[in-house]
Amino acid sequence: MAIRDLIPWGRQQDRSEIVSGDQPSTHPFLALHREMNRVFDDVFRSMNLPAFGGASGSLSWPKLELSETDKEVRIAAELPGLDEKDVEVSVEEGVLTVRGEKKSETEDKERGYSERSYGRFERQIGLPAGVEQDKATATFNKGVLTITLPKSAEVIESTRRIPINAKS
């Protein structure tokens, strides 16, 4: 049995067979649907981007989580399967850049089917004013990169809470 036999449907097989169990339909809308899926798959494959509905679900990778307190900005990036040597972090003119490369672990001839993504990546995040870029720190633990950027003392002191008055 080939790996391709495990995939629920391929380009050659009509989805109506799977849903209804009947003979392949020649309905024009199903043919159009199949052809549009093929076109999008081919376009994304040629750009080395994941296809729609793929395992990644989105074109932006790595996935980020941002949090901000009165004293710091913290950014966490999920980078499964990577080591700290595969990732580069830099801050320049108020923009944090996370870039790196995820390399394939197997040769293409050994791979039967894969939904994993490989290649170079880069994410840029605009930082709020008052962040001390030169005091940024980064840690890497269990595939999660955490970047901490402290806020300057002037920004912390200049923050003023505005009271909200209720109308009667």
Domains within the chain, CATH numbers bracketed? 3-46 (no CATH), 64-158 (2.60.40.790)
The residue that leads in pLDDT, 2 or 115, is 115
- How confident is residue 70, by pLDDT bands cut at 50, 70 and 90? confident
What is the per-residue pLDDT for 47? 66
Q: Which residues of 107-136 are buried (b: 16+ CB within 10 A; e: fewer)?
A: eeeeeeeeeeeeeebebebebeebbebeeb
Query: Given a cut of 90, is residue 76 above it in pLDDT?
Result: yes
Give the Cα separation of 14 and 148 in Å (integer).
Answer: 51
- How confident is residue 74, by pLDDT bands cut at 50, 70 and 90? very high
Q: For 46-60, 80-94, 134-148, 153-167, which range has the lowest pLDDT when averaged over its residues? A: 46-60
What is the per-residue pLDDT for 18? 45
Mean pLDDT of the chain: 76
Query: Given a cut of 90, is residue 141 above it in pLDDT?
Result: yes
How large a percentage of the chain has pLDDT more than 90?
21
What is the per-residue pLDDT for 77? 93
Give the Cα separation of 54 and 40 in Å (integer).
Answer: 12
The residue that leads in pLDDT, 3 or 144, is 144
Which strands make up the sheet holding 144-150, listed edge to edge? Answer: 64-68, 72-78, 144-150, 137-141
